[in-house]
């Protein structure tokens, strides 16, 4: 028995075809068929039910063996990555999906991480919470960074979540706004103002649950362009709402913008953190990045 044989049976189980598995493994059909037959002889069990057209379906015994083989291959991959870490040769790719507002929280961590591990290719994609979950479940992303709102977290055994920090919903206004002297703003006060909103499920859901019952909000526009929102607030044309940590960079760079607590009955702390696929083991790259991000934030 060898690792290649385990890789072959896992690939056949995924594709349901000896021909497709052979193509993906870059070997001949006869070679993969012979290799699996030898493994079956060694184990004393039939792993697949073969049919015409070279299709193959796992037997009951085969499913058990293939599951164990998958676990072994995952452990081997983890072992290789651990070795890379010890040798300071961490390499590969890291795909991160994040909600747009707190993207600035990643910048310093990404910069330091890239300096220490130049052979790691990092890609960051801004997405909404639902799309982040979808891409994690489909293995298109390695890590998702999002608000852990119960309205957007699916009840799935395939996902693992962990909180990094907590935030709260606030109102951002121009420093010359009459609201700027207020210690907090109520929904009744907010609906009297012209609003610009970030086109985001979390923001829109918050408006529906906490503001709409007090009256119809005067929304000038909703957009996913943060610069347009910032400009509208800076010019005193409108006010906006968002999570407090989303405005941290804006306030440092723009003294004309200030944030004020939004006082609602249900404005409880909102956790922000990472999500990954449970059945897909975290790569050493992802583990290292998450550890650094948690320390930095």
The confidence score (pLDDT) of residue 217 equals: 93
pLDDT at 152 over 80: no
pLDDT tens for residues 39-52?
999 999 999 988 87
For the entire predicted model, the pTM comes to: 0.61
- Which domains are delineated in the chain? 3-85 (1.10.10.10), 91-166+271-296 (3.40.190.10), 169-267 (3.40.190.10)
Considering the chain, what percentage of its residues have pLDDT values greater than 90? Answer: 40
Residue 222: pLDDT band with limits 50, 70, 90: very high
pLDDT at 204 over 60: yes
The confidence score (pLDDT) of residue 76 equals: 86
The confidence score (pLDDT) of residue 226 equals: 83
CA 157 – CA 154 distance, rounded (Å): 9
Lowest model confidence (mean pLDDT) among 16-30, 31-45, 246-260: 246-260
Q: CA dist 98 to 32, 72, 123, 146, Å?
A: 41, 31, 11, 6
The confidence score (pLDDT) of residue 85 equals: 61
Distance from CA of residue 33 to its chain's centroid?
38
Tell me the mean pLDDT in the region 117-146: 89
């Amino acid at each position: 028995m060898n690792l290649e044989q385990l890789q072959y049976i896992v690939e056949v189980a995924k594709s349901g075809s000896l021909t497709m598995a052979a193509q993906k493994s870059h070997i001949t059909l006869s070679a993969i068929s012979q290799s699996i037959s030898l493994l079956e002889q060694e184990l004393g069990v039939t792993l697949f039910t073969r049919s015409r057209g070279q299709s193959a379906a796992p037997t009951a015994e085969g499913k058990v063996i293939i599951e164990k083989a998958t676990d072994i291959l995952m452990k081997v991959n983890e072992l290789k990555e651990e070795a890379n870490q010890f040798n300071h040769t961490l390499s590969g790719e890291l795909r991160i999906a994040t909600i747009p507002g707190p993207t600035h929280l990643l910048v310093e961590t990404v910069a330091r991480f890239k300096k220490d591990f130049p052979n790691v290719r990092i890609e960051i994609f801004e997405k909404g919470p639902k799309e982040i979950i979808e891409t994690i479940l489909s293995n298109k992303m390695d890590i998702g960074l999002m608000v852990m709102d119960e309205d957007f977290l699916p009840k799935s055994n395939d996902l693992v979540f962990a909180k990094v920090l907590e935030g709260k919903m606030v109102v951002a206004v121009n420093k010359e706004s009459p609201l700027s002297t207020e210690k907090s703003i109520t929904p009744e006060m907010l609906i009297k103002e012209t609003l610009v909103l970030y086109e985001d499920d979390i923001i829109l859901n918050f408006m529906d649950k906490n503001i709409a019952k007090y009256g119809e909000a005067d929304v000038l526009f909703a957009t996913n362009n943060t610069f347009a929102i910032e400009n509208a607030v800076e010019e005193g044309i409108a006010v906006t709402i968002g999570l407090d940590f989303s405005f941290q960079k804006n306030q440092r760079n723009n003294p004309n913008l200030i944030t004020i607590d939004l006082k609602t009955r249900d404005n409880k702390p909102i956790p922000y953190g990472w999500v990954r696929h449970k059945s897909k083991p975290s790569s050493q790259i992802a583990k290292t990045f998450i550890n650094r991000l948690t320390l930095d934030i």
